[in-house]
Amino acid sequence: MPKRILEGVVVSDKGDKTVVVKVERTLLHPVLKKTVRLSKKYHAHDEANALKVGDLARIVECAPKSKLKRWEVLSPASAS
């Protein structure tokens, strides 16, 4: 099974080797037929501490690295 890749904006880089990435998705409301934006935050492992708040980040699933981190940042060159 392939690993999921998500794209979002870094909202926090305060943790050491950790960034919090906010991923937004849109869906059509089943009754109102209106577009609704949903967002979710993911803690991701950033080995090089390369990303800063506001950067666009691509994250990929991985084995658990800590209590909250189950994602890791793809290479920073592709994240900018």
Residue range 16-43, pLDDT digits in tens: 999 999 999 999 999 999 999 999 999 9
CA dist 74 and 80 (Å) reads: 10
pLDDT, position 20: 98
- Cα–chain center distance at 67: 16
pTM, entire model:
0.87
For residue 77, the model assigns a pLDDT of 53
* β-pair type (35-45, 71-73): parallel
Burial class (CB in 10 A: 0-12, 13-18, 19+), 65: middle
Average pLDDT estimate for 2-28? 96
Q: Over 50: is that where the pLDDT of 80 sits?
A: no
Helix (H) or strand (E) holding 77: helix 76-79
